[in-house]
């Protein structure tokens, strides 16, 4: 996804196409990077804790 987005942006700029097409390619590449970072964080930290329906847990 990152490579496809960057290639699309380079081709769009090289052929002098719509600048928004190049911007879309860059956004595709950035979203791929964000996805990779999020997956690595997910593996390190584990899934987020779900809130309990009765409110926060208190140690008594």
pTM for this prediction: 0.58
In a domain, 58, yes or no: no
- Residues 15 and 12: their CA atoms lie apart, in Å, by 5
Give the three-state DSSP class for 41.
helix
Q: Give CA separation, 44 vs 13, 27, 33, 38, in Å.
A: 38, 26, 17, 10
In a domain, 60, yes or no: no
- Residues 2 and 4: their CA atoms lie apart, in Å, by 6
In a domain, 27, yes or no: yes
- Give the pair of three-digit tokens for residue 2: 């990152």
Q: Which domain holds residue 21?
A: 2-45
pLDDT at 52: 66
In a domain, 16, yes or no: yes
Number of domains the chain is built from: 1
In a domain, 15, yes or no: yes
In a domain, 22, yes or no: yes
Q: What's the pLDDT tens digit per position in 30-50?
A: 888 898 898 888 888 877 677
Q: What is the CA radius of gyration of the chain?
A: 20
pLDDT at 45: 82
In a domain, 18, yes or no: yes
């Amino acid at each position: 996804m990152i490579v496809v987005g960057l290639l699309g942006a380079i081709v769009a700029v090289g052929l002098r196409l719509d600048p928004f097409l190049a911007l879309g390619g860059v956004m595709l590449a950035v979203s791929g990077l964000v996805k990779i970072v999020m997956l690595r964080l997910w593996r390190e930290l584990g899934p987020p804790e779900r809130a309990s329906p009765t409110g926060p847990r208190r140690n008594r």
